[in-house]
Amino acid sequence: MAEAERIIGTPDTPDAAGNGRERAGEDAAAAGASGTDEPAAAGRPRGKRRIAVLFAVASFAYALDLISKMIVVAKLEHHPPIEIIGDWLRFEAIRNAGAAFGFGEAFTVIFTMIAAAVIVVIARLARKLYSLPWAIALGLLLGGALGNLTDRIFRAPGVFEGAVVDFIAPKHFAVFNLADSAIVCGGILIVLLSFKGLDPDGTVHKD
């Protein structure tokens, strides 16, 4: 009799069936929380991808930088600087052939290639982006890089050698633009997120 039960198998008890239904419900709840129809696997980041947030932030930063440069070129270039806060902050249009804040004017083509590489890396990283703070940080980097890259490609003296339009001139500091500001803010945010142990896929690790 015992051998027959071993071969045929004993039916599930009510408690076992209830536990099975409870586990299925937990899996379904986890799947709903992750925004997918599949149960969340162990170790897999939960939540929705933040690609839309990344590109929304990047588009806003890029548009703001582009519009500000158009206004500066049309209204401020070849005109006296405009004082915003006395001589502590003023708007002064200059053309910068170097990197951010005027460094490295002899390496314009190299900086153009670096900016293009940064854009490619961010686009590839977007496929596994689940963290909202990382999406904002990378969006700022992407928008800033696109803003200055546009100047490198389309402004004089030529393609990939164009001078970037800078106009924000604090006292005793280099002149910069909104793209530079977006890049710096994005970089600072990435450093803070790294110190906190938050990865782009939404997981948190502790060293």
Q: Is 180 one of the annotated active-site residues of the chain?
A: yes
Alpha-carbon distance values, 160 to 6, 68, 94, 97, 116 (Å): 76, 21, 18, 10, 10
Distance, CA of 134 to chain centre: 6
Torsions phi, psi for 10 (to 5 deg)? -85, 145
Pick the catalytic residue: 65, 87, 180, 207? 180
Pick the catalytic residue: 12, 65, 151, 166? 166
Residues acting as catalytic residues: 166, 180
